[in-house]
Structure 1
Amino acid sequence: MLLIEEITSIEGRLSEDKGMVMPFVCTAGGRSFYAKGSNTLAVGLINELVCAHLARAFGLPVPDFEVLRMDELLKDVVSPDWAFDLQYEYLFGSASVVPCEKITLSDVGIFAPELRRDLIVFDAWVRNEDRSLTELDGNPNLLVTLPGKELMVIDHNLAFDDGFNEVDFRQMHVFAGVLKELPVQLPEQADYAVRFDAALIILDEVFDLIPAEWLESLPDPDGYLKKISQRLGNYKQDCFWGLLS
């Protein structure tokens, strides 16, 4: 059953330097969320919901997340400049994690190598190239809680990418260096395959949670969900593990 929180207010939105889609800051169910609507497009919202569930099932630390509903009356009182990005009734909301900061290169080594490897393996699985960070540039879409310095994984709207570049992924991923420290060899491949299998048990249930509004915005919703399912079976092929070797 899909549980949906009603948005009671929208306080603002993040600046572009904190996220290209500039999520909205809103309140729902008495909690603060960063919400994405039509500014992310339907395919991005579907990716967010599917990957958030899979990431949690896989064992990654992700903020609480919800499907949020925005009443038409609320749309009438927010800034007209936001109207184009708030066309959908349903939004994807990621619960606010405060206080926190964006990860930097100096933070990378504080996280357990097993966690770092888990994340790059997961991103390879869902074909998410949007977690890059080098000395020159990048946006890894990772938060670090304060003062505890715990990792929080966010932003999967660009997952299942048809243009996924394996070379760039290996060179630019924020945790790419861990594959030298902790290689993904045959025993690890077997362990990860078990975790993928376990996460995929919930996939059909997650598909049922996708708001009809998002699916109806796609030219071929059934085809897109089929593509996701096929992509998530990639770990059964040797070429997938070659990307991580």
Structure 2
Amino acid sequence: MKRPYVVEAKEILRQSTQGRTKPFIIRDANNDQYVVKGVNGVGQQSLVSELICSELARRCELPVAEYALMRFPTGLLDFSTEPRAGDLEGGMAFASKVAPHSQDLLFSLIGEVDEGTQQRLLLFDIWINNEDRCLSSQGGNVNLLWSAVSGLVVIDHNLAFDPINHTGNFENHVFSHQRERFADLEIRARHEAVLDAALNDWDMITDLIPLEWLYRDIDDETSEIQPTLAERFNLLVRLRDPSFWSLI
């Protein structure tokens, strides 16, 4: 089975001052730049969410940022001048490839995004319980990038599945105005089929997760981090229950 692309860090360029997670910008051995989150910085559960959602989003034909797993050569973190380089310790890090010539999606640019993509992303975020994509004329935390050349790039899913038993409020979602379109059963069926097909790959997706992200003690299968993979699957499988659409 194909594993996630693994890259080796070469140079820690800086730590971001934006966002709650304060990720690092790191150059890899091929001179590509990545936005990187480490186990010690954001926690195992966040990295599991990032990987699962990136894989699901790709299967749902959403323009999610390319990602890789990043490892660090001996000494790179120990001798870094970055005061919080220790945030990158704990095992493999999640690395999202930098989208060139992009900026945060502005409220004034929402209309540039294809309506089908708006609907799919709204539904996707409700499905994975990701409330962290808000934008209004007063601003927000949109976690979407926009480039006049390459269009929309979807990033940041570290808060998905959290909390696992809570129905989120998506009134402030950047594409909340698309909710009424799901009253059209043809539109609903089209998007539902794509999400359902993605969920069929669940076992394949979870097999990609590094073991050090899943357990507090990798020799003890009872020490799985919360929410567990089973709890995450149970959240997603509600898509197949007609009551799911009452959330839209």
Same fold (TM over 0.5): yes
Aligned partner of 1:233 in structure 2 is 237
Aligned partner of 2:143 in structure 1 is 141
> Structure 1: which amino acid aligns with 2:27?
T
Deviation at 1:124, TM superposition (A): 0.7
Greater helix fraction, Structure 1 or Structure 2: 1
Q: Which runs of 5+ in 1 are unaligned?
A: none
8 Å CA contact 1:71–1:89 kept in 2: the answer is no
Instruction: Supply the distance in 2 between the matched residues of 1:9 and 1:203 (Cα, whole angstroms).
Output: 34
Aligned partner of 2:176 in structure 1 is 176
Query: More deviation in 227-236 or 72-81?
Result: 72-81
Q: Residues 103 and 231 of structure 1: is their aligned pair in 2 closer, same or farther, counting only changes over 3 Å?
A: same
Aligned partner of 2:156 in structure 1 is 155
TM-score (norm 2): 0.89
Deviation at 1:29, TM superposition (A): 4.1
Aligned partner of 2:198 in structure 1 is 199
8 Å CA contact 2:14–2:82 kept in 1: the answer is no
Instruction: Supply the distance in 1 between the matched residues of 2:127 and 2:103 (Cα, whole angstroms).
Output: 26
**Matched residue SS, 2:146:** strand
Aligned partner of 2:220 in structure 1 is none
1:121 paired to 2:120: no
Moved over 6 A (4+): none
Query: More deviation in 39-48 or 188-197?
Result: 188-197
> Structure 2: which amino acid aligns with 1:33?
Y
**Matched residue SS, 1:94:** strand
Deviation at 1:24, TM superposition (A): 0.6
**Matched residue SS, 2:228:** helix
**Matched residue SS, 2:63:** coil
Deviation at 1:79, TM superposition (A): 2.5
TM-score (norm 1): 0.90
Aligned partner of 2:14 in structure 1 is 12
Match of 2:79 among 77, 80, 104: 77
- Give the aligned CA root-mean-square deviation in angstroms: 1.9
> Structure 2: which amino acid aligns with 1:224?
T
Q: Which runs of 5+ in 2 are unaligned?
A: 218-222
Aligned partner of 1:24 in structure 2 is 24
**Matched residue SS, 2:58:** helix
Matched residues, percent identical? 31
**Matched residue SS, 1:35:** strand
Deviation at 1:9, TM superposition (A): 1.4
